[in-house]
Chains A and B, each alone.
Chain A
Amino acid sequence: QQQVKQSPQSLIVQKGGIPIINCAYENTAFDYFPWYQQFPGKGPALLIAIRPDVSEKKEGRFTISFNKSAKQFSLHIMDSQPGDSATYFCAASKMGGGADGLTFGKGTHLIIQP
């Protein structure tokens, strides 16, 4: 059973556009929702994270929107650049402890065309 569902699987956007990646979860015990960026041959790097007590968080060009009632969250990348081309993963972890690790979505392969 996939606990975090991510879409789309791949996405192509023109430079300057706003790619949007969506994730949905079922487990209401999740209380921390990070997004990771991964370049080929590298480990994932934390981009931005949100807790369910806020509906939106911005860091630079990256914004997370969070809808607690719908159990959905999304990543928006403003003024996208070719250097943003990478695979993006949403993730979730349960409140209280890290013992269950992060539960990851399957990833979105994003291409920003010049």
Chain B
Amino acid sequence: GAGVSQSPSNKVTEKGKDVELRCDPISGHTALYWYRQRLGQGLEFLIYFQGNSAPDKSGLPSDRFSAERTGESVSTLTIQRTQQEDSAVYLCASSLWGISNQPQHFGDGTRLSIL
């Protein structure tokens, strides 16, 4: 079956522009996660959705970051007024339920480069 799909796979934009990243989770997965992976680093948790609700947005790096999810389907991560420090790979994962021992399945990410 289809895995987690992310688009675009690569995005190059100028500093100050807004970008929108998309994630299509595995069908039937109620939980969805966004992570950021800087070059040569581990993954940094950003935000979690159970259904279309995000109970805690404190993991988002700044108020320039926002995320939405439509029902138990697609999610978008938006970065406004991009900065060079935002350059990273943004990864999305989904799991059947939002409990600790449910495996998270990752997409291949969006590689974001801010010029």
Contacts and interface: CB of A to CB of B under 8 A. Distances in A.
Contact of B107 (A43, A93, A104, A107): A43
Interface in A23-53: 31-32, 34, 36, 41-46, 49, 51
A46 B90 CA distance: 18
Interface residues of A, number: 30
Query: SS class of chain B's interface: helix, strand, loop or mixed?
Result: loop
B109 A98 contact: no
20 contacts: A31-B100, A34-B103, A43-B4, A44-B91, A45-B106, A49-B101, A51-B101, A96-B99, A97-B98, A98-B31, A98-B50, A99-B56, A100-B48, A100-B56, A101-B45, A101-B46, A101-B59, A104-B42, A104-B43, A107-B41
Given A98-B95, A100-B56, A104-B44, 11 more contacts: A34-B103, A43-B91, A43-B108, A89-B43, A95-B100, A98-B97, A98-B99, A98-B100, A101-B48, A104-B43, A106-B42
B33 interface: yes
Contacts of A46: 103-105
Interface string B52-72: 000110010000000000000
B110 to A, nearest CB: 11
B108 A102 contact: no
Contact of B103 (A42, A49, A51, A89): A49
A41 B108 contact: yes
A94 interface: yes
